[in-house]
Structure 1
Protein backbone atom coordinates (compact mmCIF):
# COMPACT_ATOMS: atom_id res chain seq x y z
CA UNK A 1 0.00 0.00 0.00
CA UNK A 2 1.38 3.40 -0.98
CA UNK A 3 0.46 6.10 1.50
CA UNK A 4 1.55 9.73 1.31
CA UNK A 5 2.75 10.93 4.71
CA UNK A 6 5.51 13.02 6.20
CA UNK A 7 6.05 10.34 8.86
CA UNK A 8 8.81 7.82 8.04
CA UNK A 9 7.19 4.42 7.42
CA UNK A 10 9.37 1.33 7.70
CA UNK A 11 8.09 -1.89 6.17
CA UNK A 12 11.23 -3.98 6.72
CA UNK A 13 13.20 -4.74 9.87
CA UNK A 14 16.45 -3.88 8.06
CA UNK A 15 15.31 -0.36 7.20
CA UNK A 16 14.03 0.25 10.70
CA UNK A 17 17.29 -0.93 12.30
CA UNK A 18 19.30 1.53 10.24
CA UNK A 19 17.08 4.27 11.67
CA UNK A 20 17.40 2.85 15.20
CA UNK A 21 21.19 2.63 14.93
CA UNK A 22 21.26 6.35 14.15
CA UNK A 23 19.13 7.07 17.23
CA UNK A 24 21.58 5.03 19.34
CA UNK A 25 24.50 7.00 17.89
CA UNK A 26 22.74 10.28 18.63
CA UNK A 27 21.89 9.05 22.15
CA UNK A 28 18.21 9.84 21.61
CA UNK A 29 15.49 8.18 23.67
CA UNK A 30 12.86 6.21 21.76
CA UNK A 31 9.32 5.73 23.00
CA UNK A 32 7.23 2.85 21.64
CA UNK A 33 3.46 2.40 21.30
CA UNK A 34 2.51 -1.01 19.84
CA UNK A 35 -0.90 -1.15 18.15
CA UNK A 36 -2.99 -3.26 15.82
CA UNK A 37 -4.02 -0.16 13.90
CA UNK A 38 -7.54 1.31 13.69
CA UNK A 39 -6.22 4.10 15.89
CA UNK A 40 -8.49 6.08 18.19
CA UNK A 41 -8.04 8.73 20.85
CA UNK A 42 -6.97 6.10 23.38
CA UNK A 43 -3.99 5.20 21.19
CA UNK A 44 -3.24 8.85 20.55
CA UNK A 45 -3.22 9.50 24.29
CA UNK A 46 -0.40 6.95 24.60
CA UNK A 47 1.42 8.51 21.63
CA UNK A 48 1.10 11.96 23.19
CA UNK A 49 2.59 10.64 26.44
CA UNK A 50 5.50 9.09 24.55
CA UNK A 51 6.13 12.29 22.58
CA UNK A 52 6.27 14.26 25.83
CA UNK A 53 8.74 11.89 27.48
CA UNK A 54 11.00 10.84 24.58
CA UNK A 55 12.95 12.51 21.81
CA UNK A 56 11.63 10.05 19.23
CA UNK A 57 8.47 7.93 19.12
CA UNK A 58 7.72 4.75 17.18
CA UNK A 59 4.21 3.38 16.57
CA UNK A 60 3.86 -0.13 15.21
CA UNK A 61 0.79 -1.24 13.24
CA UNK A 62 0.48 -5.01 13.08
CA UNK A 63 -2.70 -7.08 13.18
CA UNK A 64 -1.35 -10.10 15.03
CA UNK A 65 -2.89 -13.41 13.85
CA UNK A 66 -1.61 -15.23 16.94
CA UNK A 67 -3.99 -13.22 19.16
CA UNK A 68 -7.11 -14.44 17.36
CA UNK A 69 -8.88 -17.56 18.58
CA UNK A 70 -10.61 -19.88 16.06
CA UNK A 71 -13.99 -18.23 16.72
CA UNK A 72 -12.59 -14.70 16.21
CA UNK A 73 -12.49 -13.51 12.60
CA UNK A 74 -9.13 -12.00 11.72
CA UNK A 75 -10.42 -10.88 8.33
CA UNK A 76 -12.98 -8.48 9.80
CA UNK A 77 -10.56 -6.62 12.07
CA UNK A 78 -10.45 -2.99 10.80
CA UNK A 79 -7.40 -2.03 8.75
CA UNK A 80 -7.21 1.74 8.35
CA UNK A 81 -3.54 2.57 7.73
CA UNK A 82 -4.09 5.77 5.69
CA UNK A 83 -6.38 7.12 8.39
CA UNK A 84 -3.97 6.01 11.11
CA UNK A 85 -1.08 7.85 9.46
CA UNK A 86 -3.25 10.91 9.04
CA UNK A 87 -3.98 10.94 12.77
CA UNK A 88 -0.31 10.48 13.65
CA UNK A 89 0.72 13.26 11.27
CA UNK A 90 -1.22 15.80 13.31
CA UNK A 91 1.12 17.30 15.93
CA UNK A 92 -1.87 18.32 18.02
CA UNK A 93 -2.76 14.80 19.00
CA UNK A 94 -5.98 14.88 21.16
CA UNK A 95 -7.83 -12.88 6.56
CA UNK A 96 -9.12 -15.56 7.95
CA UNK A 97 -9.84 -17.60 11.05
CA UNK A 98 -6.80 -18.94 12.88
CA UNK A 99 -6.34 -22.36 14.47
CA UNK A 100 -3.90 -21.27 17.16
CA UNK A 101 -3.22 -24.85 18.25
CA UNK A 102 -1.82 -25.67 14.80
CA UNK A 103 0.57 -22.72 14.59
CA UNK A 104 4.23 -23.69 14.28
CA UNK A 105 7.40 -21.81 15.12
CA UNK A 106 8.91 -20.06 18.13
CA UNK A 107 6.49 -18.70 20.72
CA UNK A 108 6.89 -16.91 24.04
CA UNK A 109 4.64 -17.84 26.94
CA UNK A 110 4.53 -16.47 30.48
CA UNK A 111 3.51 -19.65 32.27
CA UNK A 112 0.91 -19.40 34.99
CA UNK A 113 -0.18 -15.85 34.19
CA UNK A 114 -2.15 -16.21 30.97
CA UNK A 115 -4.94 -18.58 31.98
CA UNK A 116 -6.86 -16.32 34.36
CA UNK A 117 -9.13 -13.34 33.65
CA UNK A 118 -9.07 -12.73 29.88
CA UNK A 119 -7.04 -15.88 29.35
CA UNK A 120 -9.90 -18.02 30.62
CA UNK A 121 -12.16 -16.75 27.84
CA UNK A 122 -9.44 -16.46 25.19
CA UNK A 123 -7.06 -19.46 25.38
CA UNK A 124 -3.63 -18.88 23.78
CA UNK A 125 -4.34 -15.14 23.44
CA UNK A 126 -1.49 -14.11 25.71
CA UNK A 127 0.93 -16.47 24.04
CA UNK A 128 0.26 -14.56 20.84
CA UNK A 129 0.65 -11.21 22.58
CA UNK A 130 3.85 -12.17 24.39
CA UNK A 131 5.40 -13.55 21.22
CA UNK A 132 4.73 -10.61 18.94
CA UNK A 133 5.59 -7.97 21.56
CA UNK A 134 8.89 -9.72 22.33
CA UNK A 135 9.66 -9.56 18.61
CA UNK A 136 8.68 -5.91 18.49
CA UNK A 137 10.78 -5.05 21.53
CA UNK A 138 13.77 -6.78 19.91
CA UNK A 139 13.19 -4.86 16.68
CA UNK A 140 12.28 -1.43 18.10
CA UNK A 141 14.56 -1.52 21.17
CA UNK A 142 12.55 1.25 22.84
CA UNK A 143 13.75 3.34 25.75
CA UNK A 144 10.15 3.48 26.98
CA UNK A 145 7.01 1.56 25.96
CA UNK A 146 3.39 2.60 26.56
CA UNK A 147 0.31 0.45 27.08
CA UNK A 148 -3.25 1.32 28.05
CA UNK A 149 -4.84 0.25 31.34
CA UNK A 150 -7.86 -1.09 29.45
CA UNK A 151 -5.74 -4.18 28.67
CA UNK A 152 -4.40 -4.39 32.21
CA UNK A 153 -3.63 -8.12 32.31
CA UNK A 154 -1.75 -7.85 29.02
CA UNK A 155 0.28 -4.88 30.24
CA UNK A 156 1.19 -6.45 33.60
CA UNK A 157 2.07 -9.74 31.93
CA UNK A 158 4.40 -7.95 29.52
CA UNK A 159 6.03 -6.07 32.38
CA UNK A 160 6.75 -9.42 34.01
CA UNK A 161 8.03 -10.79 30.69
CA UNK A 162 10.64 -8.08 30.14
CA UNK A 163 11.87 -8.60 33.70
CA UNK A 164 12.00 -12.39 33.46
CA UNK A 165 13.90 -12.26 30.15
CA UNK A 166 16.13 -9.37 31.28
CA UNK A 167 15.30 -7.37 28.17
CA UNK A 168 17.33 -4.14 28.04
CA UNK A 169 14.80 -2.27 25.92
CA UNK A 170 12.52 -1.61 27.72
CA UNK A 171 13.23 -2.52 31.33
CA UNK A 172 10.18 -3.21 33.56
CA UNK A 173 10.21 0.27 35.10
CA UNK A 174 10.12 1.77 31.60
CA UNK A 175 7.04 -0.17 30.51
CA UNK A 176 4.38 2.39 31.38
CA UNK A 177 0.69 1.59 31.90
CA UNK A 178 -1.38 4.69 31.16
CA UNK A 179 -4.92 5.23 32.56
CA UNK A 180 -7.71 4.19 30.23
CA UNK A 181 -8.89 6.92 27.86
CA UNK A 182 -12.66 7.30 28.07
CA UNK A 183 -15.49 9.07 26.32
CA UNK A 184 -15.75 12.37 28.19
CA UNK A 185 -19.56 12.20 28.26
CA UNK A 186 -20.50 8.63 29.17
CA UNK A 187 -17.20 7.09 30.34
CA UNK A 188 -17.05 4.25 27.80
CA UNK A 189 -13.47 3.03 27.37
CA UNK A 190 -12.15 3.98 23.95
CA UNK A 191 -11.48 0.91 21.83
CA UNK A 192 -11.14 -0.05 18.19
CA UNK A 193 -13.94 -2.55 18.79
CA UNK A 194 -16.39 0.25 19.60
CA UNK A 195 -16.66 0.77 15.85
CA UNK A 196 -18.47 -2.58 15.64
CA UNK A 197 -21.31 -1.37 17.89
CA UNK A 198 -24.58 -0.38 16.28
CA UNK A 199 -25.95 3.03 17.39
CA UNK A 200 -28.41 1.30 19.70
CA UNK A 201 -25.69 -0.92 21.19
CA UNK A 202 -23.37 2.06 21.62
CA UNK A 203 -26.08 3.86 23.54
CA UNK A 204 -26.27 1.04 26.08
CA UNK A 205 -22.59 0.08 26.29
CA UNK A 206 -21.72 2.61 29.07
CA UNK A 207 -23.74 0.52 31.53
CA UNK A 208 -20.75 -1.83 31.64
CA UNK A 209 -18.38 0.70 33.21
CA UNK A 210 -21.18 1.98 35.42
CA UNK A 211 -21.61 -1.55 36.79
CA UNK A 212 -17.88 -1.80 37.54
CA UNK A 213 -18.06 1.53 39.33
CA UNK A 214 -20.88 0.13 41.47
CA UNK A 215 -18.59 -2.75 42.47
CA UNK A 216 -15.84 -0.28 43.34
CA UNK A 217 -18.17 1.75 45.58
CA UNK A 218 -19.44 -1.37 47.35
CA UNK A 219 -15.90 -2.68 47.90
CA UNK A 220 -14.80 0.69 49.30
CA UNK A 221 -17.62 0.64 51.86
CA UNK A 222 -16.67 -2.80 53.17
CA UNK A 223 -18.78 -5.20 51.10
CA UNK A 224 -17.37 -8.66 50.44
CA UNK A 225 -16.26 -9.55 46.96
CA UNK A 226 -19.31 -11.74 46.50
CA UNK A 227 -21.68 -8.92 47.49
CA UNK A 228 -19.86 -6.26 45.47
CA UNK A 229 -19.81 -8.34 42.27
CA UNK A 230 -23.46 -9.33 42.81
CA UNK A 231 -24.46 -5.67 42.58
CA UNK A 232 -22.79 -5.33 39.18
CA UNK A 233 -24.39 -8.50 37.86
CA UNK A 234 -27.81 -7.32 39.02
CA UNK A 235 -27.29 -3.99 37.26
CA UNK A 236 -26.23 -5.74 34.07
CA UNK A 237 -29.22 -8.08 34.30
CA UNK A 238 -31.54 -5.06 34.36
CA UNK A 239 -29.66 -3.67 31.35
CA UNK A 240 -30.05 -7.00 29.59
CA UNK A 241 -33.83 -6.95 30.05
CA UNK A 242 -34.02 -3.35 28.91
CA UNK A 243 -31.80 -4.08 25.91
CA UNK A 244 -34.06 -6.90 24.76
CA UNK A 245 -36.90 -4.39 24.44
CA UNK A 246 -34.79 -2.51 21.89
CA UNK A 247 -33.37 -5.52 20.08
CA UNK A 248 -29.96 -5.42 21.80
CA UNK A 249 -28.55 -8.66 23.20
CA UNK A 250 -26.35 -8.11 26.25
CA UNK A 251 -24.39 -11.09 27.61
CA UNK A 252 -21.98 -11.04 30.55
CA UNK A 253 -18.81 -13.05 30.00
CA UNK A 254 -17.37 -12.36 33.45
CA UNK A 255 -16.98 -9.82 36.24
CA UNK A 256 -14.20 -10.78 38.63
CA UNK A 257 -11.62 -9.54 41.13
CA UNK A 258 -8.04 -10.77 40.83
CA UNK A 259 -4.73 -10.28 42.60
CA UNK A 260 -2.68 -7.71 40.67
CA UNK A 261 0.50 -9.78 41.00
CA UNK A 262 -0.58 -13.40 40.57
CA UNK A 263 -3.89 -12.81 38.71
CA UNK A 264 -5.49 -15.40 41.03
CA UNK A 265 -9.12 -14.75 42.03
CA UNK A 266 -9.80 -12.95 45.29
CA UNK A 267 -11.81 -15.03 47.77
CA UNK A 268 -15.58 -14.55 47.79
CA UNK A 269 -15.72 -13.38 51.40
CA UNK A 270 -12.69 -11.13 51.26
CA UNK A 271 -13.24 -7.49 52.21
CA UNK A 272 -10.50 -5.39 50.60
CA UNK A 273 -6.84 -6.36 51.07
CA UNK A 274 -5.40 -6.16 54.58
CA UNK A 275 -2.01 -5.17 53.18
CA UNK A 276 -3.49 -2.48 50.95
CA UNK A 277 -2.27 -4.31 47.85
CA UNK A 278 -4.20 -3.45 44.68
CA UNK A 279 -6.93 -5.68 43.27
CA UNK A 280 -7.94 -5.80 39.61
CA UNK A 281 -11.68 -5.51 39.08
CA UNK A 282 -12.28 -6.49 35.47
CA UNK A 283 -14.94 -7.83 33.19
CA UNK A 284 -16.07 -8.59 29.68
CA UNK A 285 -19.55 -8.02 28.29
CA UNK A 286 -21.03 -8.71 24.86
CA UNK A 287 -23.21 -6.07 23.26
CA UNK A 288 -24.65 -7.85 20.27
CA UNK A 289 -21.64 -9.34 18.43
CA UNK A 290 -19.11 -7.00 20.04
CA UNK A 291 -17.17 -8.03 23.14
CA UNK A 292 -15.99 -5.15 25.31
CA UNK A 293 -13.52 -5.34 28.20
CA UNK A 294 -12.85 -2.86 30.99
CA UNK A 295 -11.33 -2.68 34.47
CA UNK A 296 -10.81 -0.61 37.59
CA UNK A 297 -7.81 -0.94 39.92
CA UNK A 298 -9.01 -1.11 43.52
CA UNK A 299 -6.64 0.09 46.22
CA UNK A 300 -3.18 1.56 45.84
CA UNK A 301 -2.17 1.88 42.18
CA UNK A 302 1.39 3.04 42.89
CA UNK A 303 3.82 0.99 40.85
CA UNK A 304 1.08 -0.16 38.47
CA UNK A 305 -0.42 2.86 36.74
CA UNK A 306 1.62 5.80 35.46
CA UNK A 307 -0.61 8.74 36.27
CA UNK A 308 -0.81 11.72 33.88
CA UNK A 309 2.07 14.18 34.12
Structure 2
Protein backbone atom coordinates (compact mmCIF):
# COMPACT_ATOMS: atom_id res chain seq x y z
CA UNK A 1 0.00 0.00 0.00
CA UNK A 2 1.28 3.45 -0.89
CA UNK A 3 0.52 6.39 1.39
CA UNK A 4 0.61 9.78 -0.34
CA UNK A 5 0.21 13.13 1.43
CA UNK A 6 0.96 15.66 -1.28
CA UNK A 7 -0.18 16.47 -4.80
CA UNK A 8 3.47 16.45 -5.90
CA UNK A 9 3.82 12.83 -4.76
CA UNK A 10 0.57 11.91 -6.51
CA UNK A 11 1.63 13.58 -9.76
CA UNK A 12 4.94 11.74 -9.66
CA UNK A 13 3.21 8.41 -9.12
CA UNK A 14 0.68 8.93 -11.90
CA UNK A 15 3.37 10.14 -14.30
CA UNK A 16 5.07 6.77 -14.25
CA UNK A 17 1.90 4.69 -14.20
CA UNK A 18 1.16 2.61 -17.31
CA UNK A 19 -1.41 4.66 -19.24
CA UNK A 20 -3.11 1.50 -20.50
CA UNK A 21 -4.07 0.54 -16.94
CA UNK A 22 -7.44 1.50 -15.43
CA UNK A 23 -7.70 3.56 -12.25
CA UNK A 24 -10.58 3.53 -9.76
CA UNK A 25 -11.15 6.38 -7.31
CA UNK A 26 -13.02 6.01 -4.01
CA UNK A 27 -13.32 9.42 -2.30
CA UNK A 28 -13.97 9.22 1.46
CA UNK A 29 -13.88 11.45 4.51
CA UNK A 30 -12.41 8.67 6.65
CA UNK A 31 -14.05 7.00 9.66
CA UNK A 32 -14.25 4.03 7.32
CA UNK A 33 -16.87 1.30 7.67
CA UNK A 34 -18.04 -1.65 5.60
CA UNK A 35 -20.01 0.65 3.30
CA UNK A 36 -16.74 2.28 2.23
CA UNK A 37 -15.03 -1.11 2.04
CA UNK A 38 -17.68 -2.38 -0.37
CA UNK A 39 -16.88 0.53 -2.73
CA UNK A 40 -13.15 -0.13 -2.47
CA UNK A 41 -13.56 -3.86 -3.07
CA UNK A 42 -15.63 -3.18 -6.18
CA UNK A 43 -12.99 -0.77 -7.47
CA UNK A 44 -10.19 -3.27 -6.82
CA UNK A 45 -12.17 -5.91 -8.70
CA UNK A 46 -12.86 -3.65 -11.70
CA UNK A 47 -9.60 -1.69 -12.05
CA UNK A 48 -5.85 -2.21 -12.25
CA UNK A 49 -5.21 0.46 -9.61
CA UNK A 50 -7.41 1.91 -6.87
CA UNK A 51 -6.91 5.28 -5.21
CA UNK A 52 -8.68 5.88 -1.90
CA UNK A 53 -8.75 9.48 -0.72
CA UNK A 54 -9.24 10.30 2.95
CA UNK A 55 -10.04 13.97 3.35
CA UNK A 56 -12.58 15.66 5.61
CA UNK A 57 -13.67 18.43 3.27
CA UNK A 58 -14.43 21.60 5.27
CA UNK A 59 -16.35 23.36 2.50
CA UNK A 60 -19.23 20.88 2.48
CA UNK A 61 -20.09 21.45 6.15
CA UNK A 62 -22.61 24.23 6.64
CA UNK A 63 -22.46 23.56 10.39
CA UNK A 64 -19.04 24.16 11.99
CA UNK A 65 -20.03 22.05 15.00
CA UNK A 66 -20.74 19.12 12.72
CA UNK A 67 -17.28 19.51 11.18
CA UNK A 68 -15.66 19.65 14.62
CA UNK A 69 -17.48 16.49 15.72
CA UNK A 70 -16.70 14.51 12.57
CA UNK A 71 -14.64 11.48 13.65
CA UNK A 72 -10.92 11.43 12.86
CA UNK A 73 -9.73 7.82 12.78
CA UNK A 74 -6.88 7.91 10.27
CA UNK A 75 -4.69 5.25 11.90
CA UNK A 76 -7.59 2.82 12.21
CA UNK A 77 -8.64 3.62 8.64
CA UNK A 78 -5.19 2.80 7.28
CA UNK A 79 -5.11 -0.48 9.21
CA UNK A 80 -8.50 -1.41 7.79
CA UNK A 81 -7.38 -0.54 4.24
CA UNK A 82 -4.31 -2.76 4.61
CA UNK A 83 -6.63 -5.69 5.31
CA UNK A 84 -8.57 -5.03 2.10
CA UNK A 85 -5.67 -4.86 -0.37
CA UNK A 86 -1.94 -4.27 -0.16
CA UNK A 87 -1.96 -2.55 -3.56
CA UNK A 88 -4.10 0.46 -2.67
CA UNK A 89 -2.92 4.02 -3.20
CA UNK A 90 -4.14 6.06 -0.23
CA UNK A 91 -4.24 9.84 -0.59
CA UNK A 92 -4.39 11.78 2.70
CA UNK A 93 -3.85 15.48 1.90
CA UNK A 94 -4.37 18.47 4.17
CA UNK A 95 -6.92 21.17 3.40
CA UNK A 96 -4.05 23.56 2.64
CA UNK A 97 -2.65 21.07 0.14
CA UNK A 98 -5.99 20.57 -1.60
CA UNK A 99 -7.13 24.19 -1.72
CA UNK A 100 -3.68 25.85 -1.99
CA UNK A 101 -5.13 29.19 -0.95
CA UNK A 102 -8.46 30.29 0.47
CA UNK A 103 -10.49 27.30 1.63
CA UNK A 104 -13.71 28.04 -0.20
CA UNK A 105 -16.04 26.28 -2.62
CA UNK A 106 -16.92 27.10 -6.19
CA UNK A 107 -20.50 27.84 -7.20
CA UNK A 108 -22.36 25.42 -9.44
CA UNK A 109 -25.71 25.24 -11.20
CA UNK A 110 -27.06 21.69 -11.35
CA UNK A 111 -30.43 22.66 -12.79
CA UNK A 112 -32.20 22.46 -9.43
CA UNK A 113 -30.79 19.12 -8.26
CA UNK A 114 -28.84 20.99 -5.58
CA UNK A 115 -31.83 22.88 -4.14
CA UNK A 116 -34.10 20.06 -2.97
CA UNK A 117 -33.89 17.75 0.05
CA UNK A 118 -30.32 18.00 1.42
CA UNK A 119 -29.76 21.24 -0.48
CA UNK A 120 -32.80 22.85 1.14
CA UNK A 121 -31.49 22.15 4.64
CA UNK A 122 -27.71 22.36 4.15
CA UNK A 123 -26.90 25.64 2.45
CA UNK A 124 -23.83 25.44 0.25
CA UNK A 125 -23.35 21.73 0.92
CA UNK A 126 -23.38 20.58 -2.69
CA UNK A 127 -21.13 23.41 -3.83
CA UNK A 128 -18.60 22.03 -1.34
CA UNK A 129 -19.14 18.43 -2.46
CA UNK A 130 -18.83 19.31 -6.16
CA UNK A 131 -15.72 21.42 -5.51
CA UNK A 132 -13.81 18.62 -3.80
CA UNK A 133 -14.99 15.93 -6.22
CA UNK A 134 -13.99 18.04 -9.22
CA UNK A 135 -10.57 18.61 -7.62
CA UNK A 136 -10.06 14.92 -6.86
CA UNK A 137 -11.12 13.85 -10.34
CA UNK A 138 -8.73 16.40 -11.84
CA UNK A 139 -5.85 15.25 -9.62
CA UNK A 140 -6.30 11.48 -9.98
CA UNK A 141 -7.76 11.24 -13.52
CA UNK A 142 -9.56 7.97 -12.80
CA UNK A 143 -11.26 5.67 -15.26
CA UNK A 144 -14.09 5.11 -12.77
CA UNK A 145 -15.16 6.74 -9.49
CA UNK A 146 -17.31 5.01 -6.88
CA UNK A 147 -20.03 6.51 -4.68
CA UNK A 148 -22.65 4.94 -2.42
CA UNK A 149 -26.38 5.20 -3.05
CA UNK A 150 -27.02 6.18 0.58
CA UNK A 151 -26.14 9.69 -0.56
CA UNK A 152 -28.27 9.30 -3.68
CA UNK A 153 -28.76 13.02 -4.25
CA UNK A 154 -25.00 13.50 -4.07
CA UNK A 155 -24.54 10.68 -6.58
CA UNK A 156 -26.90 12.32 -9.07
CA UNK A 157 -25.20 15.69 -8.62
CA UNK A 158 -21.78 14.15 -9.26
CA UNK A 159 -23.14 12.53 -12.43
CA UNK A 160 -24.38 15.95 -13.48
CA UNK A 161 -21.02 17.51 -12.58
CA UNK A 162 -19.00 15.23 -14.85
CA UNK A 163 -21.51 15.83 -17.63
CA UNK A 164 -21.29 19.63 -17.27
CA UNK A 165 -17.49 19.64 -17.00
CA UNK A 166 -16.96 16.95 -19.65
CA UNK A 167 -14.85 14.86 -17.27
CA UNK A 168 -13.91 11.52 -18.92
CA UNK A 169 -14.83 9.26 -16.00
CA UNK A 170 -17.50 6.64 -15.38
CA UNK A 171 -19.44 7.31 -12.17
CA UNK A 172 -20.43 4.06 -10.45
CA UNK A 173 -23.29 4.05 -7.94
CA UNK A 174 -23.04 1.22 -5.38
CA UNK A 175 -25.84 -0.26 -3.24
CA UNK A 176 -26.42 0.88 0.35
CA UNK A 177 -24.66 -1.33 2.90
CA UNK A 178 -26.62 -1.80 6.11
CA UNK A 179 -25.96 -2.91 9.65
CA UNK A 180 -27.56 -6.16 10.78
CA UNK A 181 -30.66 -4.28 11.99
CA UNK A 182 -31.10 -2.44 8.68
CA UNK A 183 -29.59 0.92 9.67
CA UNK A 184 -27.69 2.39 6.71
CA UNK A 185 -23.98 2.38 7.50
CA UNK A 186 -22.58 5.83 8.15
CA UNK A 187 -19.61 7.32 9.97
CA UNK A 188 -22.14 9.30 11.99
CA UNK A 189 -23.56 6.08 13.47
CA UNK A 190 -20.54 6.01 15.80
CA UNK A 191 -22.02 9.00 17.62
CA UNK A 192 -25.22 7.09 18.49
CA UNK A 193 -25.62 5.36 21.83
CA UNK A 194 -26.24 1.61 21.82
CA UNK A 195 -29.96 2.19 22.44
CA UNK A 196 -30.20 4.86 19.73
CA UNK A 197 -28.45 2.58 17.28
CA UNK A 198 -30.97 -0.17 17.95
CA UNK A 199 -33.93 2.23 17.76
CA UNK A 200 -32.65 3.65 14.47
CA UNK A 201 -33.54 0.36 12.77
CA UNK A 202 -37.06 1.84 12.66
CA UNK A 203 -35.99 4.08 9.75
CA UNK A 204 -35.33 1.28 7.27
CA UNK A 205 -38.16 -0.88 8.58
CA UNK A 206 -40.60 1.98 7.92
CA UNK A 207 -39.13 2.72 4.49
CA UNK A 208 -39.66 -0.93 3.50
CA UNK A 209 -43.30 -0.71 4.56
CA UNK A 210 -43.64 2.53 2.57
CA UNK A 211 -42.33 0.72 -0.50
CA UNK A 212 -45.17 -1.79 -0.21
CA UNK A 213 -47.75 0.96 0.27
CA UNK A 214 -46.46 2.92 -2.70
CA UNK A 215 -47.34 -0.02 -4.95
CA UNK A 216 -51.07 0.59 -4.44
CA UNK A 217 -51.22 4.13 -3.04
CA UNK A 218 -50.35 7.62 -4.23
CA UNK A 219 -47.10 9.35 -3.33
CA UNK A 220 -48.91 11.85 -1.08
CA UNK A 221 -50.78 9.22 0.89
CA UNK A 222 -47.54 7.22 1.30
CA UNK A 223 -45.75 10.32 2.58
CA UNK A 224 -48.60 11.07 4.99
CA UNK A 225 -48.40 7.53 6.31
CA UNK A 226 -44.63 7.82 6.78
CA UNK A 227 -44.95 11.12 8.65
CA UNK A 228 -47.58 9.67 10.96
CA UNK A 229 -45.37 6.68 11.73
CA UNK A 230 -42.55 8.96 12.86
CA UNK A 231 -44.94 11.07 14.92
CA UNK A 232 -45.45 7.98 17.09
CA UNK A 233 -41.71 7.84 17.82
CA UNK A 234 -40.62 10.89 19.84
CA UNK A 235 -36.98 9.81 19.82
CA UNK A 236 -36.88 10.96 16.19
CA UNK A 237 -37.05 14.54 14.97
CA UNK A 238 -38.16 14.39 11.35
CA UNK A 239 -36.52 16.89 8.99
CA UNK A 240 -38.01 15.75 5.69
CA UNK A 241 -39.63 12.88 3.83
CA UNK A 242 -39.83 13.05 0.05
CA UNK A 243 -40.84 10.74 -2.76
CA UNK A 244 -39.11 11.85 -5.95
CA UNK A 245 -38.15 10.58 -9.38
CA UNK A 246 -34.59 9.31 -9.59
CA UNK A 247 -33.45 11.47 -12.49
CA UNK A 248 -34.52 15.02 -11.59
CA UNK A 249 -35.29 14.39 -7.89
CA UNK A 250 -38.58 16.22 -8.35
CA UNK A 251 -41.49 15.41 -6.01
CA UNK A 252 -43.91 12.89 -7.50
CA UNK A 253 -47.26 14.42 -8.35
CA UNK A 254 -48.63 11.45 -10.23
CA UNK A 255 -46.98 8.05 -10.75
CA UNK A 256 -46.03 7.31 -14.36
CA UNK A 257 -45.16 4.03 -16.04
CA UNK A 258 -41.48 3.37 -16.77
CA UNK A 259 -40.38 5.97 -14.22
CA UNK A 260 -38.14 5.16 -11.26
CA UNK A 261 -38.94 6.61 -7.83
CA UNK A 262 -37.28 6.74 -4.43
CA UNK A 263 -38.34 7.66 -0.94
CA UNK A 264 -35.86 9.91 0.90
CA UNK A 265 -35.72 10.70 4.60
CA UNK A 266 -33.64 12.79 6.99
CA UNK A 267 -34.14 12.54 10.76
CA UNK A 268 -32.33 13.48 13.93
CA UNK A 269 -31.68 11.19 16.86
CA UNK A 270 -30.47 13.55 19.53
CA UNK A 271 -27.92 15.71 17.70
CA UNK A 272 -27.04 13.05 15.13
CA UNK A 273 -28.52 13.54 11.68
CA UNK A 274 -29.32 10.35 9.74
CA UNK A 275 -30.35 10.01 6.10
CA UNK A 276 -31.62 7.02 4.14
CA UNK A 277 -33.51 6.18 0.98
CA UNK A 278 -35.13 3.26 -0.77
CA UNK A 279 -35.94 2.49 -4.40
CA UNK A 280 -39.70 2.24 -4.88
TM, length-normalised to structure 2 = 0.90
> Counterparts in 2 of 1:89-128, with a 5 A limit?
89-91=82-84, 107-111=106-110, 112-128=112-128
In structure 2, relative to structure 1, the CA distance for the partners of 1:257 and 1:187 (3 Å cut) is: same
| Cα shift at 1:73 | 2.8
User: In 1, are the aligned partners of 2:59 and 2:103 still within 8 Å (CA)?
Assistant: no
| Cα shift at 1:110 | 3.1
Per-residue deviation, residues 140-198 of structure 1 (Å, max 9, x unmatched): 11111100000000011101110111012x1xxx1000000011x31111000000101
Residue segments in structure 2 that go unaligned for 5+ positions in a row:
87-101
Aligned mates of 1:51, 1:115 — CA distance in 2: 34
Q: What is the aligned partner in structure 2 of residue 303 from structure 1?
A: none
State how many pairs are aligned. Answer: 264
CA RMSD of aligned residues (A): 1.7
Give 4+ residue runs of structure 1 displaced > 6 Å after superposition: none
Q: What is the aligned partner in structure 2 of residue 59 from structure 1?
A: 52
| Cα shift at 1:71 | 5.6
**Helix, strand or coil at the partner of 2:239:** strand
Aligned mates of 1:214, 1:147 — CA distance in 2: 26
Aligned mates of 1:42, 1:70 — CA distance in 2: 24
Aligned mates of 1:164, 1:76 — CA distance in 2: 33
TM, length-normalised to structure 1 = 0.82
Choose which of 3, 13, 20 in structure 2 pairs with 1:9.
3
Aligned mates of 1:258, 1:74 — CA distance in 2: 29
Q: What is the aligned partner in structure 1 of residue 261 from structure 2?
A: 279
In structure 2, relative to structure 1, the CA distance for the partners of 1:86 and 1:71 (3 Å cut) is: closer
Aligned mates of 2:63, 2:79 — CA distance in 1: 32
In structure 2, relative to structure 1, the CA distance for the partners of 1:166 and 1:48 (3 Å cut) is: same
| Cα shift at 1:28 | 1.2
In structure 2, relative to structure 1, the CA distance for the partners of 1:228 and 1:144 (3 Å cut) is: same
> Counterparts in 2 of 1:63-102, with a 5 A limit?
63-70=56-63, 72-91=65-84
> Counterparts in 2 of 1:232-251, with a 5 A limit?
232-240=226-234, 249-251=235-237
User: In 1, are the aligned partners of 2:60 and 2:124 still within 8 Å (CA)?
Assistant: yes
